[in-house]
């Protein structure tokens, strides 16, 4: 898998050590709430030259339930700055219900030694798009930050 594939599908496997943005809940005109993303964190084990695993985890809540969490990791130096629309085609995290209207969502991707060697060093970001069962969405452009080093 090339760096380009990793970038486009979740821009993949890089060192993570960031903390997600705080909860996001916006009341709509109908009085229902949009999904909220809380307790997000990202972690990469390995180095930029050995095999590694990127894991992003967040708690997602919405009164109607959680449909999905889509995740995209991208190097800051790329200036990508993904939009909500672009995240609609990103890879999904696995979400498991932890209570009424709350799910713990985890995205994991593994990189081979070759893939890890192709990753750019420096700061990377994770963007996230939570979607509720009722169709409401919450976009977090920088849900986590991490560093890739050699």
Model confidence, pTM: 0.77
- Residue 142's contacts (CB-CB under 8 Å, 6 or more residues apart) are 21, 125, 126, 127
- Higher-scoring residue by pLDDT: 31, 2: 31
Percentage above 90 pLDDT, the chain: 56
Question: Which residue segments constitute the domains of the chain, with CATH numbers given?
Answer: 3-148 (2.60.40.10)
Residue 30: what pLDDT?
A: 46
pLDDT digits over 28-83, tens only? 334 568 999 999 999 887 765 678 888 999 999 999 999 999 999 999 999 898 99
96-127 pLDDT per residue, tens: 999 999 999 999 999 888 888 888 788 899 99
Cα–Cα distance measured from residue 14 to residue 116, given in angstroms and rounded to the nearest whole number:
7
CA distance readout (Å), 6 to 35, 67, 125: 27, 24, 13
Q: What DSSP element (H or E) covers 61?
A: strand 52-61
The SS3 call for residue 69 is strand
């Amino acid at each position: 898998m090339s760096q380009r594939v990793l970038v486009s599908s979740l821009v993949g496997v890089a060192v993570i050590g960031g903390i997600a943005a705080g909860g996001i809940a916006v009341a709509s005109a109908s009085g229902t709430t949009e999904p909220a993303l809380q307790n997000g964190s990202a972690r990469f084990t390995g180095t930029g030259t050995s095999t590694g695993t990127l894991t992003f985890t967040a708690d997602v809540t919405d009164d109607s339930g959680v449909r999905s969490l889509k995740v995209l990791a991208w190097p800051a130096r790329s200036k990508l700055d993904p939009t909500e629309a672009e995240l609609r085609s990103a890879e999904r995290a696995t979400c498991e219900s932890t209570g009424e209207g709350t799910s713990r969502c985890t995205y994991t991707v593994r990189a081979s030694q070759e893939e890890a060697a192709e990753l750019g060093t420096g700061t990377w970001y994770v963007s996230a798009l939570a979607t509720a069962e009722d169709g409401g969405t919450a976009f977090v452009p920088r849900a986590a930050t991490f560093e890739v080093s050699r």
